[in-house]
Amino acid sequence: MQHSSQSADDLEIETIAQFDAQVASGSLAGCYLQSLDLSARSDALLAVDVTRAVFLGCRFGSGVEAAIEARGALVFPTLPDLPFQPYRTGLYRPAELYAGLDRGYRYTLDARTYRWWRHVGTQRSLTSQLAMTLHDHAITEALDDLALAGAVGVMGGHALERGSADYAAAAQLGRSLVAVGHPVLTGGGPGAMEAVNLGAALPPEADLERAVAALAVVPSFGESIEEWARAAFAVTEGQDLPGPSFGVPTWLYGHEPPNVFCVGSAKLFSNAIREDVLLRHASAGLVCLAGAAGTVQEIFQAVTPRYYAHTGPVAPLILVGVEYWTRTVPAWPLLAALATGRPLAGSIHLIDDVAEIPALIG
């Protein structure tokens, strides 16, 4: 017999414990249930109100799926032939993306998903488009759920080598931002992004210089992603990564492997969504280390809302490297020209020393 109770519209249920608690309240009406194995909960599903409930990639006992659909539920089935789970309930962890590394990088979840993406990128179907859309929605929602108040975005190039002075400075920047209470967001890849995530992730008592030196044994991912990743996992072996260090990489740049110093990795298929998510969550400010086209894109994507801001505080936008941003890649003159006479002028900064950044962020 179906119970009646107040509906819980839009309530998200992602664990069996949450499911059992909601069933005990008498209704699943209007709930969203994601990636649950409900094959042992058939009696509960057949008794509780499931009107307008949405089941995403869940598993059911025999006959239950048809029965709950007949009673007003909407069931999105598991999509076939995918190397990834489109109905995710959280961000990726490094060990998940690199599962299978002992056999070689090509066997990891990250590499298999990239190969799948390259194939469907030229032979897209409704199923593959739906899978990627559902996946990216789940990832962005998982990042939203973290509510990263005061996060600082740090952008920078993937080519920066371990062992360089700039790599060490970027790692120290990540540590200094976390020390004053700012979660850190990067593009989640190698180079400058890895360095910042490293500094942000390691516990305060960890020897950061020693970690940087250990990584320098494999300076770049170019020759062997396996050795590059193994060197990073060796640094984390035997210790937790407690710092608020997050990355937002994309399979559009799947040739760049994700770094393992992200406590959570919001890896996405859509680079457009990725850029929007990164900049939107960097509410306390954006720091741009030396980088190429991707970093330049992020600078001016970040400038647009700041340019049109007429009232209220404008989050700082900090370019690091006077010579680089004025002569090598002269983004600063254009940025300064746009800022003239606008509130934006007081929030843009061009510096050489990353030690100045925490004070500029505030």
pLDDT at 6: 43
User: Which residues, including other chains, have CB under 8 Å from residue 7's CB and lie 6 or more apart?
Assistant: 27, 29, 30, 49, 51, 52
Residue ranges of alpha helices (H) inside the chain are: 16-25, 42-47, 64-70, 94-97, 109-120, 126-146, 165-179, 192-201, 208-215, 225-236, 271-281, 293-307, 322-323, 331-339, 357-361
Contact criterion met (CB below 8 Å) for 153 and 185: yes
- Give the residue ranges of the chain where pLDDT is below 70: 1-8
Q: What confidence score (pLDDT) does residue 127 get? A: 86
Which residue intervals of the chain bear CATH 3.40.50.450? 144-283
Report CA 337 to chain centroid distance, whole Å: 32
Structural class in CATH, domain 144-283: alpha beta
d(CA 32, CA 53): 6
DSSP letter, residue 324: I
pLDDT computed for residue 239 by the predictor: 81
Would you state the pLDDT for residue 124? Answer: 79
* pLDDT score at 222: 94
Of 181, 201, 138, nearest in space to 283 by CA: 181
pLDDT in tens, 186-225: 999 999 999 999 999 999 999 999 999 999 999 999 999 9
Task: Provide the pLDDT for residue 146.
Answer: 95
Return the closest-CA partner of residue 189 out of 159, 227, 153. 159
Q: Enter the pTM of the model.
A: 0.88
User: Cα–Cα distance between 156 and 109 in angstroms, integer?
Assistant: 25
Per-residue pLDDT, 362: 83
